[in-house]
Homo-oligomer: A and B are copies of this chain.
Amino acid sequence: MAYTIGLDYGTNSVRCLIVDTATGEELGTAVYEYETGEVGIILDPQDHNLARQNPADYLKGIEITVKEAVEQARNVKRFDPAKIVGIGVDTTGSTPLPVDKNGIPLGLLDEFKNNPNAMAWLWKDHTGYEEAAKITEQAAKDRPQYLAKCGGTYSSEWFFSKIWHCLKADPKVFDAAFTWVEHSDWIPAVLTGTDKPKDLKRDRCAAGHKAMFNDDWGGYPDAEFLSKLDPKLGSLRKSLSDTTQAVDKAAGNLTAEWATKLGLTAGIPVAMGAFDAHLGAVGSGIKEGVLVKIIGTSTCDMVVAPTSAKLPDIPGICGIVDSSILPGFYGLEAGQSAVGDIFNWFVNYIQAGGKEAGSHQSLTQKAEKLKPGQSGLLALDWNNGNRTILVDQRLTGMLLGQTLHTRPEEIYRALVEATAFGALTIINRFQEYGVRIDEVVNCGGISEKNAMLMQIYADVTGREMKVSRSAQTCALGAAICGTVVAGKKAGGHDNFAEAQKAMCGIKSVSFKPIPANQKVYTELYKLYKQLHDAFGIAGHSGVLSNVMKDLLAIKEGVNG
């Protein structure tokens, strides 16, 4: 009998999960909501692009959640914290923190403790959008190979856009930073006492997907290239290591200090970190041919493909990185910048504060009675930009087809459908480039709670929507990493395939496409694609005067 811990840092909270390595049974789980800012995020009312987090919340969350989860696990008689054999960690990303020469985040120092620029730059911080555009431009000119692996466009959500923006917006913070560390590297480093810059290991997932790291060109972008952006960025290059590790490697071993604090055994291995979505895919049982959709405030759409078969570069896919999800496979990451966030926006802000009549539940109850096409509405799911396949944060939402009779539940359904159309666009892009998708497994709160959404996704994509058995797949994936770095001898597993077989599963209820709905959505998707291309592709020219008429014709066909 052995157990493993997954620490899962989400956008608003951190979760600790304790799992049985033999069965995947979840014995204890605890959540800590970050305390700083608005639901854990430091915002700036003057700048909607800004989103930061306090690293102190990250530290406090470890102690609180691990202790509470252990206490909970004690309800299971056979459990003993001494039998916890490993720890895995996932975080959001790219969420880099500036650290000093001792590896201490600047935001924890008195000098910078009230400066948002010294904090963690949360994944959804878009302040670096101008820098992102310039990086894309420069790379297109000088290093096209960098762009080819990240979908052709470097995003404002990523490592160097943020760092460069800090350099411009707050040079004092930039100059005080010895280097910048991803949240996913910092936590394992802290737990294992390897957080000094000289000891720090960088994980493959964050570096490969967000920082243009690739062994083909010797790791991170070269200093010459970075210097062209800004000489100070060129100088930063030497603080970034030349190697990275995947999640089958340990960052180190739990320090005595942390072991005491948490009531665990000192010296157990802590796996290299990775992003939440990547380990969510692991916890959902990802393997070749399986698309894992992690549906929350945004989505991540994860696929793996064997490194033995050379993949072409795929335009608009955020990253293709060797071993970023499963060792030995390319990890392919796509996603939608907002999904649940769009529904929350509509409920919380537009529907007058989400009162009774305008709650998710009430709107869903009414919306699920509508037939596809019945509202005459069509929306674009770009309220937070478009991550895949357009890779453009500077796109915005759109709703079309409103009449004086349009009701909130119709808009709500149209927003859900828009995200389904966005999901289909991603699947299509993978397939166009030869990536196998035989099966779709969903995870994340929305996939568990919203049967209407799951059915719409099945109808729009024409594919069965399966749902992961665990409600906490990211944390489960992290826990699986903990078992792999522990190894079979210690009570873990020797590889991911074995660990997933033992610890992952699918719910018995799934959602199959309904042919009649599928037929209408095929028509609606054509119109969505027209709008998508017209508003999303620079210089795209075409006729749109059919869109409103076609929507009315579909509506009348459904009603008639």
Contact = CB atoms under 8 A, between A and B. Distances in A.
Contact of A535 (B48, B357, B545): B545
Nearest to A544: B534
Contacts of A547: 535
Contacts of A345: 402, 404, 406
A376 interface: yes
Copies per assembly = 2
Contacts of A539: 543, 545
B408 A384 contact: no
Contacts of A540: 543-545
A401 to B, nearest CB: 5
B545 A536 contact: yes
Nearest to A547: B535
A352 B355 contact: yes
Contacts of A306: none
Please classify how large the interface on chain A is, using the bins under 10, 10 to 19, 20 to 34, 35 or more: 35 or more
A398 B559 CA distance: 22
A383 B404 contact: yes
A400 B406 contact: no
Contacts of A401: 396-398
A46 interface: yes
A396 B404 contact: no
A549 B338 contact: no
A353 B357 contact: yes
Nearest to A353: B357
Nearest to A337: B404
Contacts of A408: 349-350, 352
A351 B352 CA distance: 6
Given A541-B543, A545-B539, A396 B384 contact: no
A30 interface: no
B403 A384 contact: yes
Contacts of A108: none
Closest 7 CB pairs of A and B: A397-B402, A352-B352, A398-B400, A396-B401, A352-B358, A534-B544, A345-B404
27 contacts: A46-B559, A48-B403, A341-B404, A345-B404, A345-B406, A350-B406, A350-B408, A350-B411, A353-B357, A384-B403, A384-B404, A394-B548, A396-B400, A396-B402, A397-B400, A397-B401, A397-B403, A398-B398, A398-B402, A399-B400, A534-B544, A534-B545, A535-B544, A536-B545, A537-B545, A538-B545, A541-B541
